A and B are shown apart, each in its own frame.
Chain A
């Protein structure tokens, strides 16, 4: 393996994985905050105002972290992936630039009013500020998924003699079916994170017998939003995404399932470790014929295995792809179980007396982060060895003018800065959660706005 290429890949993987810790929470919380603010407007119950205010503070810190870790993403196309940028800028930069022009300006204009402007604005105007920030963050997510969608499934382009890609229709890149399917999957994934985090903090308060009113609102809002998003995540969005992928990237699907040999009535592997050298799965637990059924709707259909494809087109890291996919799908199933149980207890009026369930909700919040990260790993590791699927290989896209040592240097720099950021953010979030939804002393809300 070429050292420089490997380091450029790790550089992108590390910085984007760290970055996505924050947007998945802010994109997930934004609609929930709008819900809380709507309830506050409707019911005039001040507890909903306290609840919305508390999550707005959490949102503000995470949003800033998303901004400062996100800026390097836009520049990294050029710094670390210059050949790719040069060849595809005429297409992929459309959603990238549109994100800046259509969503960053929107968010930056209304975020300050949203996070700090509650006293200055009327209740309605502040609701609108919250709504516009929600809109901006979801638009932002759309443009990024559209950029990734084009790399996964290139559409609406022509290639010039110099090898570069040029966009041929304004809507083509934005209306890419792959991007639309992936977008709803990504966004409901973010809502799962937001919902679980909200329920976890609520459970923490209810279990600790503090801030009970708000705590119950958090748990209720979290589990109700959670069950909707968790079910939607599997059906229809995950199901649709899986079928579309099996159709357009069959070799990726084979890699995800570690299906080495083409099989009629292919089984689905629930657990097991793929052995790429021997082309087998160790310690397998399988459901017979399930894979054929999930992809084609019949238990007898032939599913293409890796043996149908030339080795150089196989995903480059099949075990990582396989584990990412299985972690994502496995956790997704567990999430449905947790939220279904919690909603059932809520409906029967027993949730707040079921301390075991509250313990589960409190401790479950890290797992949506893991599932979302694993989902993106599935998509991006699954796309390998291509940058633009079927058209441009990863090994042809990196900045060959940047040496391995320089890449390592900036990778270590980002690791250091991200570690520092983590410390500050954990400290501030822990402090906010410790204080709880009761108003913080006023002086501490003076300073800048984001």
Chain B
């Protein structure tokens, strides 16, 4: 049963990154790609109807994690205390950056919120990338499965690492490129004209470094934690995952060149799903490995809620998520297609 919840929580987190990823990526590129007020309004119009719903995936995943793996929720949220609180502050700035800008047609007012939106989005991607790095690398858990990670120590992924070290920074950089490309491909799908062309140009610049940092992050991960390959050795069918990652990478470039906007975006989704899915497969059954020895690692067994909670939870989770996916289909159908200036909605 704990394995089922491992899969469900992983699915929700992947759903969050795929969906909110394009909002965050659009934010990271906001100042760079959208030059005029009308282009910036178009970027905001493209994510306006959906960003809040996308962010709910993070909240729903957090709540589900709290329910199914209270041990992990308690330990990781308190252990990554500083980083998590900074993420919460950044979420405030991102939200007001998107929503308060429209209230005043004043250029200074708009510039301030454009800047807040873009800076907060960029830093959120960096923190989320570093978070993934921390989970793969492991933290200094004590015998009661708790820890407290400082923001940085000596930038080495040793036995008592900080949240930022060279490895997690590398993960953060990889996330920044991956999510920016994801956001750009979404905006290409939603835009036309100059903005669309400029974004295509950006993809040509962003794609090669994305391939390089993805490969570097993969090599670095296997260098610092070679045991992450154990599930791949045990079940060779899992090697299809890295093939999907490569296919996603190739697809982004190929379909962008072929001007197939939808497939290019789907290729980016595939890349994200496969990368995160691959990480989840590598971790299982660990949830948060320990850098001080496997005995103190947080696993699905020592962090899961009791049997009665896990089975009762499936009732509301299944009903609630089925309904939620229904809302998403309605909203995305309502707002599909290119955003035209003066659409009125946003």
Contacts and interface: CB of A to CB of B under 8 A. Distances in A.
A445 B92 CA distance: 21
Interface stretch (A75-83, A220-228, A259-267): A75-83
Contacts, number: 250
B345 A68 contact: no
Contacts of A80: 78
Interface stretch (B58-66, B166-174, B201-209, B251-259): B58-66
B305 A90 contact: yes
Contacts of B328: 105, 109
Interface string A386-403: 000000000000010111
A406 interface: yes
Given A85-B73, A401-B148, A448 B306 contact: no
A83 B44 CA distance: 41
Contacts of B88: 71-72, 75
Contact of B99 (A90, A94, A447): A447
A142 to B, nearest CB: 13
Contacts of A347: none
B278 interface: no
B98 A94 contact: no
Interface residues of A, number: 75
Interface in A64-114: 64, 67-69, 71-72, 74-75, 77-80, 82-83, 85-91, 93-94, 96-102, 104-106, 108-113
Chain A interface secondary structure, helix, strand, loop or mixed? helix
B1 interface: no
A97 B312 contact: no
Given A78-B78, A98-B320, A401-B78, A90 B67 contact: yes
Contact of A112 (B48, B55, B75, B76): B48
Nearest to B342: A446
B67 A119 contact: no
A109 B53 contact: yes
B308 interface: yes
B157 interface: no
A166 B309 contact: yes
B105 A68 contact: no
Interface in B25-74: 41, 44-45, 47-49, 51-53, 55-56, 59-60, 62-64, 66-67, 69-71, 73-74
Contacts of B49: 112, 449
A93 B70 contact: yes
B82 interface: yes
Nearest to B306: A166
A187 to B, nearest CB: 22
Given A101-B324, A164-B306, A401-B148, A431 B103 contact: yes
B64 to A, nearest CB: 5
Nearest to A65: B96
B81 interface: yes
Contacts of A170: 312, 315-316
B52 A450 contact: yes
Given A167-B308, A170-B316, A402 B44 contact: no
A67 B88 CA distance: 11
A117 B64 contact: no
B73 A98 contact: no
B337 interface: no
B73 A89 contact: yes
A21 B26 CA distance: 31
B74 to A, nearest CB: 4
B324 A90 contact: no
A379 to B, nearest CB: 22
B344 A119 contact: yes
Interface of B: 41, 44-45, 47-49, 51-53, 55-56, 59-60, 62-64, 66-67, 69-71, 73-79, 81-82, 84-85, 88-89, 91-92, 95-96, 98-105, 146-148, 305-309, 312-313, 315-317, 320-321, 323-324, 327-328, 330-331, 334, 342, 344-346
Given A402-B81, A445-B102, 9 more contacts: A85-B70, A90-B305, A91-B309, A97-B67, A108-B55, A167-B309, A167-B312, A403-B148, A410-B85
